[in-house]
Amino acid sequence: MRKIGAGFAAAIMAAGLGLAGPGVASAASPYCGIMWGSLAKADPDMSSAHVTNVRTGQQACYDRLVIDLTGKVAGYSVQYVPVVVQDGSGFQIPTLGGADLQITVTAPSYDQNGQSTYSPAAKAELSNVSGYQTFRQVVYAGSFEGYTSIGLGVRARLPFRVFTLDGPDGGSRLVVDVAHHW
């Protein structure tokens, strides 16, 4: 009976020290320190800036999408959607991947004279994301009445963050990072 009791006590002690498999502490520890979540993020302000470029990059813990603007980023909406829709028409734009992010910046991709400030050659592939860990496809969803939308197909519904950066040359950038894992 003593051997069983000692074995039981050793098992409980090992579990308490994290030696006998994953416990609550390891399940709660964030991937790469990321604690972003996957709920919608938005700022409703309107901008007088214009979209000039969309680009992507890979980081150790996340993939990054950057939208360049001529002036200050004032507002945006970034959220997971059932399907990306085109501005104005509501036309559905399918994307590759297990989840879709619709990124809308409150800035047009045309100037006050209606001249394009951003006109991608391939609207179905704004950036080549083959080989990215999270991104699957970046599509242009249009620019209508002061809003420009980008669709981002991702591997799965993963945590993301949104922030803005100033520069260069009086412009700014809207940045969307999507984590590789939860």
Rounded to whole angstroms, how far apart are CA atoms 158 and 149? 20
pLDDT tens digits, one per residue of 57-91? 999 999 999 999 999 998 999 999 999 999 888 99
pLDDT tens digits, one per residue of 92-145? 999 999 999 999 999 999 999 999 999 999 999 999 999 999 999 999 999 999
Residues in the chain: 182
Mapping DSSP onto H, E and C, the string for 76-131 reads EEEEEECCEECCCCCCEECCCCCEEEEEEECCCCECCCCCECCCCCCCCCCCCCCC
3-state secondary structure of 1: coil
pTM as predicted: 0.82
